[in-house]
């Protein structure tokens, strides 16, 4: 097993620990917790899984994606930029995350234009949160857990180490030199809250899935499209950008999300016998969408074929949302 050394501040003293790659120790007044970022393509889910595990909140991978709404998200830039999985309105996702027992708070968005004083204040906020036993993360090019610190640097979990030494495994205090000359980074902290009842978490996630499809502009940013708009943008850019890295990365991330959607409905069907049939249908539908989306990752695919598959996927997504709406109405408290 590949291993690395990790310096962790505990009670003001530096402690040297040797941990498996991907693991680190988080200091807290209540003791130490072992943090791990899961190696999903969707690094937001990798961070979220690490936070849930740290707080002792047992959530399956399918429910992680399903209950947070990531299973139903697709976000595409007009030019198929690989930033699709990261640049969207997180308000709905953050609201759903509280159902699982975690509240996320954004500490701030930073670029090289920010002053040294503002960066120092942010670093102190991170230290205070971690000393209180609350995890922190950052989003620059990827989502990463901040797993520890000393007087010179913060340690950040790499989602795909040791196979991939990216993004950086550390962040130097003050300079943040590991981020390079140009960065757009947001920092977050997490705290444990009361979990919602399972039925509420499920229904809320299904309502969110419907909103992403029927009101995509509520969750998208400029030059990005969500839901049916995402498919339109992808089709429009397939000829010029269908062989790009962005095409490949969007396809593998969103295919993973739809694969988890299929698994999520399989779980729901096992929990609620009255909707087992409807869930089996949704499991099959989302499984087919995931498989087709994986095909789209092929950079060498003829653009005409790619557009044809995207048109099919847009139609299938509309069909699944009709079924999701019916299921949500059936599971909704007070439904006959």
What would the pLDDT profile of 237-273 be if each residue is shown by its tens digit? Answer: 999 999 999 999 999 999 999 999 999 999 999 999 9
Give the N- to C-terminal CA distance of the chain in Å, as an integer.
Answer: 55
Parallel, antiparallel or unpaired: strands 33-36 and 185-192 = unpaired
The domain spans of the chain are 3-192, 198-331
Q: Residue 221 and residue 216: Cα distance in Å, rounded?
A: 10
Closest C-alpha among 86, 52, 92, 137 to residue 253: 86
Phi and psi torsions of 53, nearest 5°? -65, -40
Tell me what the mean pLDDT of segment 269-283 comes to. Answer: 98
Kindly tell me if the per-residue pLDDT of 326 is higher than 70.
yes
Query: Is the four-CA dihedral 174, 180, 184, 187 of positive or negative sign?
Result: negative
The answer to whether 206 touches 213, Cβ cutoff 8 Å, is no
E strand segments, 2-142: 3-10, 13-20, 23-26, 33-36, 75-77, 102-110, 136-139
Closest C-alpha among 140, 123, 141 to residue 189: 123
Kindly tell me if the per-residue pLDDT of 179 is higher than 80.
yes
Query: Model-level pTM?
Result: 0.90
Q: Residue 114 and residue 123: Cα distance in Å, rounded?
A: 13
The least confident of 66-70, 93-97, 145-149 is 145-149
> pLDDT grade, residue 11 (50/70/90)?
very low
Q: Residue 262 and residue 293: Cα distance in Å, rounded?
A: 13
- CATH fold of 3-192, please? Cathepsin B; Chain A (3.90.70)
Greatest Cα pair distance, the chain, in angstroms, is 61
331 Cβ partners below 8 Å, 6+ apart? 199, 202, 203, 206, 272, 275
Tell me what the mean pLDDT of segment 34-46 comes to. Answer: 93
The pLDDT value given to residue 171: 97
Q: Is 274 helix (H, G, I), strand (E, B) or coil?
A: helix
Kindly tell me if the per-residue pLDDT of 229 is higher than 90.
yes
The pLDDT value given to residue 88: 97
pLDDT in tens, 126-149: 999 999 999 999 999 999 999 999
Phi and psi torsions of 150, nearest 5°? -135, -165
């Amino acid at each position: 097993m590949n291993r690395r050394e990790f310096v962790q501040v505990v009670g003001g003293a530096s402690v040297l620990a040797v941990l498996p790659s991907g693991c680190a120790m988080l200091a807290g007044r209540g003791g130490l917790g072992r943090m791990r970022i899961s190696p999903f393509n969707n690094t937001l889910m990798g961070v979220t899984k690490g936070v849930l595990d740290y707080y002792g909140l047992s959530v399956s991978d399918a429910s992680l994606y399903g209950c947070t709404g990531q299973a139903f998200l697709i976000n595409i830039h007009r030019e198929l930029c690989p930033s699709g999985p990261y640049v969207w309105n997180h308000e709905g996702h953050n609201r759903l995350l509280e159902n699982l027992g975690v509240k996320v708070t954004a500490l701030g968005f930073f670029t090289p234009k920010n002053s040294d004083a503002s960066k120092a204040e942010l670093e102190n906020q991170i230290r205070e949160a971690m000393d209180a036993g609350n995890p922190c993360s950052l989003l620059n090019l990827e989502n990463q857990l901040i797993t520890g610190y000393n007087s010179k640097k913060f340690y950040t979990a790499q989602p795909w180490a040791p196979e991939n030494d990216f993004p950086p495994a550390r962040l130097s205090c003050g300079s943040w030199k590991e981020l390079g000359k140009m960065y757009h980074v947001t920092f977050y902290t997490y705290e444990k809250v009361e979990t919602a009842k399972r039925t509420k978490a499920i229904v809320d996630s299904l309502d969110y899935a419907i909103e992403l499809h029927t009101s995509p502009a509520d969750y998208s940013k400029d030059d990005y499209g969500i839901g049916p708009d995402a498919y339109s943008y992808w089709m429009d850019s397939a000829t010029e950008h269908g062989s790009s890295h962005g095409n490949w990365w969007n396809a593998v991330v969103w295919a993973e999300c739809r694969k988890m959607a299929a698994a999520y409905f399989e779980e729901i069907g096992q929990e609620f016998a009255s909707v087992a049939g409807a869930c089996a249908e949704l499991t099959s539908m989302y499984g087919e969408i995931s498989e087709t989306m994986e095909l789209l990752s092929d950079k060498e695919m003829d653009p005409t074929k790619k557009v044809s598959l995207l048109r099919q996927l847009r139609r299938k997504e509309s069909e699944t949302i009709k079924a999701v709406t019916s299921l949500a109405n059936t599971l909704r408290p007070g439904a006959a």
